[in-house]
Amino acid sequence: MIKEIKFTDNALKQINHLLSSKDKGSFFRIAIKGGGCSGFQYDFSFEKEAANDDLKYNNILIDKTSADLLKGSEVDYVEELIGNSFKINNPQTKSSCGCGVSFSL
């Protein structure tokens, strides 16, 4: 179970919409990976199976390391003039770049 990470209704609705076009039983993965212009970046992907170290919330998977880095975060899905995207408000972030995907801890 994923604790201390909040998902807005918009985020859950979009995740379910995206998964509706995938094979039944697929999962939506949220991860933090090294890279980007600030050191870390959020990564969103689809998986057919959960790994042993994955935490699960409904049809969402987050590995334990990423979950620790996301503790206290809110995952939202926003529609803006520049495009639609998942936005993560992470209180552990010290700085982020203009793209909103890359950040430092």
Q: pLDDT by residue (tens digit) across 4-55?
A: 899 999 999 999 999 999 999 999 999 998 876 667 888 999 999 999 989 9
Q: Helix, strand, or coil here: 27? A: strand
Sheet holding 40-47, edge to edge: 54-57, 60-63, 27-34, 40-47, 102-104, 95-96
Q: Which CATH class is domain 6-100?
A: mainly beta
Per cent of the chain over pLDDT 90 is: 57
Q: Is the pLDDT of residue 68 over 80?
A: yes
Domain boundaries, the chain: 6-100
